Amino acid sequence: MRAESNESLDVLSVFLTGIPGLEAQHGWLSIPFFTMYIVAIVGNSLIMAAVHVDTALHEPMYLFLSMLAVTEVGVSVSTLPTVMGILWFDARQIDFDGCLAQMFFIHTFSGMESGVLLAMSYDRFVAIYNPLRYTAILTLSRIICMGLGITLKSVMFMAPLPILLRQLPYCHVNVLSHSYCLHSDLIQLPCADTKLNSILGLSIVLATFGLDSLLIVVSYVLILYTVLGIASGEGRRKALNTCVSHICAVLLYYVPMIGVSVMHRAAKHASPLVHTLMSSIYLFVPPVLNPIIYSVKTKPIRQGIFNLFSCKRKWL
């Protein structure tokens, strides 16, 4: 049975869904979607380049920000081919292995993003609790180890998902409800019991996103406790102001995720357009808004990006 199943997977195709009810407007809808991709990829790439080039930005806070930018470019690039393929060319068909690969990269980069947000909350706690030893605690070697640990954890957690899905037999109707491949969608396709896949998926969500969000909350409780111990009101305001951009990034990431989870369980009979909209907000909005927020709220990042273009003009 397994040999027959694996052989059929070599020719199995999956059909993606565009935006339900708005198929006739896909051409027009491609403009805002493509604009979001450009803003997300260019904006985050500029942050990475600024941190890399400007030695003044070689500090823990900005190194973690560049890691966040890497994950957001990864998420954007993972979804771009199928989303724009549907909107531009109505290319809904994707081979099964390609779908599994896309699922793996979307979930891996999303898991990395959650881990980086946790690392950034620890960075803010250290900066406020022990500012004199901030750079001594968060050395470059430790930051690199944290980045490698976040990457390895995400890859190890997500790798079993496509491997287990590939062992299952599949039916003739293989239509997904989004314009990209997600694990929650793919486990609906097999003609076999997917209880193990569902349990594994839930365990990964709890061990990554659930634990990360809990630890972020703990970090901010400790930050608030530390800030309240600062004598001057001006000092408290400055300390909290350094956390504003990160708090916005956390809310942009976790609020849509919670919304998607609630919709998936409590509003199963809602319009497919609503489910598509919530999933799109979760995947597309954070990579677009985070570089804008950090550029507006963080003067050294603005200056670093400005210096990039200044250097370019000098070369020209």
The pLDDT tens digits of the residues spanning 126-173 come to: 999 999 999 999 999 999 999 999 999 999 999 999 999 999 998 877
Would you say residue 117 has pLDDT above 50? yes
The pLDDT tens digits of the residues spanning 244-293 come to: 999 999 999 999 988 887 776 666 677 788 888 888 899 999 999 999 99
State the pLDDT confidence band at 4, using cuts at 50, 70 and 90: very low
pLDDT value of position 187? 92
Distance CA 73, CA 79 (A): 10
Would you say residue 314 has pLDDT above 70? no
Residues with Cβ within 8 Å of 263's Cβ and at least 6 positions away in sequence, in order, are: 270, 274, 275, 278
Average pLDDT, the chain: 90
Specify the DSSP class assigned to residue 190: B
Taken in order 305, 256, 76, 160, the sign of the CA dihedral is positive
234 CB burial (10 A radius; 0-12, 13-18, 19+):
exposed
The pLDDT tens digits of the residues spanning 293-309 come to: 999 999 999 999 998 88
Instruction: From 202, 200, 206, select the one nearest 159 (Cα to Cα).
Output: 200
Instruction: From 118, 3, 106, select the one nearest 67 (Cα to Cα).
Output: 118
Q: CA 144 from chain center: how many Å?
A: 20
Instruction: From 30, 150, 142, select the one nearest 86 (Cα to Cα).
Output: 30
Give the lowest-confidence range in 16-25, 126-135, 220-229. 16-25
pLDDT value of position 268? 64
Would you say residue 68 has pLDDT above 90? yes
pLDDT value of position 30? 95
Compute CA distances 77 → 11, 102, 167, whole Å.
25, 10, 27
The pLDDT tens digits of the residues spanning 21-50 come to: 888 899 999 999 999 999 999 999 999 999
What is the pLDDT averaged over residues 109-121? 98
Question: What pTM was computed for the model?
Answer: 0.93
Q: Hey, what are 78's tokens?
A: 């993972």
Instruction: From 275, 284, 281, select the one nearest 20 (Cα to Cα).
Output: 275
Q: Hey, what are 92's tokens?
A: 């809904």
The pLDDT tens digits of the residues spanning 232-247 come to: 889 899 999 999 999 9
Distance CA 82, CA 84 (A): 6
pLDDT value of position 8? 56
Cα angle 233, 222, 209 (rounded to 5 degrees) comes to: 130
pLDDT value of position 79? 97
What is the pLDDT averaged over residues 198-202? 92
pLDDT value of position 56? 92
Distance CA 179, CA 86 (A): 7
pLDDT value of position 312? 54
Distance CA 3, CA 167 (A): 9
Would you say residue 7 has pLDDT above 70? no
Q: CA 26 from chain center: how many Å?
A: 25
Q: Is residue 282 within 8 Å of residue 256, measured between CB atoms?
A: yes
3-state secondary structure of 14: strand
pLDDT value of position 208? 94
Max Cα-Cα span within the chain: 72
pLDDT value of position 3? 39
* End-to-end CA gap in the chain: 64
pLDDT value of position 81? 96
